[in-house]
Structure 1
Amino acid sequence: MNVEGILKGKGSNVLGLNENDSIESAVAILAEKKIGATVVLDEAGKLIGILSERDIVREIGNQGASVLSKAIKNIMTKDVQTCSPSDAVAKIMAQMTEGRFRHLPVIDNGNLVGIISIGDVVKNRINELEFEANAMRDYITSG
């Protein structure tokens, strides 16, 4: 399976924030939506960063709670790794493991078309394994 298959199942809605939004407002949105990261978009809607719970916790640890009043651009990850809809799930699983991150924006022809989390990847893999096990069970019992 590829990334496009995952997006078909989960949808391609992506919450994007502006780099000048406060970290405190981002925390409230992450909590409300029960998500672990959000992309950061410029005025034209282009990806310029990603902000994760880890980014926030790391900076609170470094700077204290006062960091919450600062703009997202001060702590967001600017060098964002991305994937495309045609990328194989195994490839992005390796990419996430090597990079030690849990969220990967999906870019198609320069446009943001979704975001994949490690949870989406694991869920997909479990579904594939269950399908294979059921197919094997059916083969064995029908033989």
Structure 2
Amino acid sequence: MLVKNILAEKGADVETMTPDQTLADAVQLLARRRIGAIVVTKDKGRIAGILSERDIVRILASDGPGVLEKPISAAMTSKVKVCHEDNSVNDVMEIMTAGRFRHLPVERDGMLVGIISIGDVVKKRIEQVEHEAEEIRNYIATA
């Protein structure tokens, strides 16, 4: 299973914000959409960073609630790991596990085209394992 197949099923909608919007705006969007990360973009869809719930918690813990009036750029991760549509579920699992990421933007030609969450990856991997188990059961039953 490839990332492009996951995006085809779940859709390629991604919540984005710009680096100059406030952390308070980001918190509102995260809560309203019930999501765990926002991709920060500039220049017509180029990825500038990613802002996760963890990023917000960390800056709140260190700087206090007044930090919510700061721009997203103050808390976002600017060195973003990305994946591509031709990456496999296993590729994405390796990237997420190694970096302890829950979300990976999907990039094509330097532009944002989707986002994959750990939930998406786990769901697809479980489906793969269940399909393989069913094939083995069918093989054994017909042998």
Q: TM-score, normalised by structure 1?
A: 0.95
SS in 2 for 1:48: strand
**Displacement of 1:43:** 4.2
Aligned equivalent of 1:2: 2
Aligned equivalent of 1:23: 23
Q: Which amino acid aligns with 1:5?
A: N
Aligned equivalent of 1:93: 93
**Following TM superposition, where does structure 1 have runs of at least 4 consecutive aligned residues deviating by more than 4 angstroms?**
none
| Root-mean-square deviation over aligned CA pairs | 1.1
**Displacement of 1:116:** 0.5
Aligned equivalent of 1:52: 52
Q: Which amino acid aligns with 2:41?
A: L
Deviations for 1:112-136, whole angstroms, at most 9, x for unmatched residues? Answer: 1100111111000001011111122
Structure 2 stretches lacking a partner, 5+ long? none
Identity of aligned residues (%): 48
Q: Which amino acid aligns with 2:56?
A: I
SS in 2 for 1:80: coil
Aligned equivalent of 1:104: 104
Tell me how far apart the structure 2 counterparts of residues 6 and 44 of structure 1 sit (CA, whole Å): 24
**Displacement of 1:141:** 2.3
Equivalent positions of 1:77-92 (< 5 A) are 77-92=77-92
Tell me how far apart the structure 1 counterparts of residues 40 and 108 of structure 2 sit (CA, whole Å): 17
Tell me how far apart the structure 2 counterparts of residues 91 and 44 of structure 1 sit (CA, whole Å): 27
Residue 116 in 1 paired to residue 122 in 2? no
SS in 2 for 1:105: strand
SS in 1 for 2:105: strand
Deviations for 1:9-32, whole angstroms, at most 9, x for unmatched residues? Answer: 111111110111111111111111
Tell me how far apart the structure 1 counterparts of residues 136 and 34 of structure 2 sit (CA, whole Å): 37
Tell me how far apart the structure 2 counterparts of residues 141 and 88 of structure 1 sit (CA, whole Å): 30
**Displacement of 1:111:** 1.6
Q: TM-score, normalised by structure 2?
A: 0.95
Equivalent positions of 1:33-52 (< 5 A) are 33-52=33-52
Tell me how far apart the structure 2 counterparts of residues 28 and 142 of structure 1 sit (CA, whole Å): 56
**Displacement of 1:138:** 2.0
Structure 1 stretches lacking a partner, 5+ long? none
SS in 2 for 1:83: coil
